[in-house]
């Protein structure tokens, strides 16, 4: 085995291991989110709210430290808006969930497009079918999220996020198994 072949073998082995590990973690998180969708939704809303507040405070601190900067007022407004948006998400988590559901639905549509592109770009012997099915599931979930009723936003967010994680986990596990088989051949 040449050095190049040995390097390729080690690289494929690492990719296979990461695919299997990540796939298992994604699948487990997906199952947990499906089992308790309201909890998954609440965690997502609070993480987003907290992140917006932290980002806003950081931007406000930077802006006030550079008060002579030309973009001072714009930085101040953006930082304040981020703090207000994060605080609103924490204070009214149901509304925060609805906003996140719509935004996440749009993001998931883009994720589906990327999965379709990857499914068609990978070599013929790669388990592209799993990636394509994952893209279909992801596109359907994006559509459900964007069109979900406001009062069901928290349940939709947690459940559909769980299904997306589970679907992605299965696709990663299939890829890891395929890579492992390819390495041993």
Q: What does the angle CA 167 – CA 172 – CA 173 come to, to the nearest 5 degrees?
A: 95
Specify the pTM: 0.66
Percent of the chain with pLDDT over 70: 99
Residue 69, token pair as written in the block: 């900067």
d(CA 15, CA 185): 16
The whole-number pLDDT of residue 30 equals: 93
The whole-number pLDDT of residue 31 equals: 95
The whole-number pLDDT of residue 166 equals: 93
Spans of the chain below 70 pLDDT: 185
The whole-number pLDDT of residue 7 equals: 83
Catalogue the long-range contacts made by 143-148 (C-beta closer than 8 Å, 24 or more residues apart): 143/105, 143/109, 144/105, 145/101, 145/102, 145/104, 145/105, 145/108, 146/101, 146/102, 146/105, 146/106, 146/109, 147/105, 148/101, 148/105
pLDDT tens digit string along 7-41?
888 888 898 899 999 999 999 999 999 999 988 88
d(CA 51, CA 53): 5
- The average confidence (pLDDT) of the chain is 87
The whole-number pLDDT of residue 24 equals: 94
The whole-number pLDDT of residue 33 equals: 92
The whole-number pLDDT of residue 185 equals: 65
d(CA 138, CA 151): 22
């Amino acid at each position: 085995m040449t050095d190049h072949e040995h390097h390729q073998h080690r690289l494929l082995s690492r990719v296979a291991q990461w695919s299997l590990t990540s796939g298992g973690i994604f699948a487990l998180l997906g199952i947990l989110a499906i089992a308790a969708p309201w909890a998954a939704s609440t965690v997502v809303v609070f993480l987003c709210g907290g992140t917006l507040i932290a980002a806003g405070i950081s931007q406000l601190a930077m802006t006030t430290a550079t008060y002579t900067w030309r973009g001072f007022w714009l930085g101040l407004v953006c930082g304040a808006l981020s703090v207000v948006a994060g605080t609103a998400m924490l204070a009214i988590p149901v509304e925060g969930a609805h906003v996140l559901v719509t935004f996440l639905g749009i993001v998931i549509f883009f994720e589906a497009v990327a999965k379709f592109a990857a499914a068609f770009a990978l070599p013929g012997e790669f388990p592209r079918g799993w990636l394509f099915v994952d893209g279909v599931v992801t596109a359907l979930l994006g559509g459900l999220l964007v069109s979900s009723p406001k009062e069901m936003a928290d349940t939709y967010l947690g459940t559909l996020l769980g299904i997306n994680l589970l679907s992605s986990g299965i696709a990663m596990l299939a890829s890891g198994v395929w890579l492992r088989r390819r390495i041993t051949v």
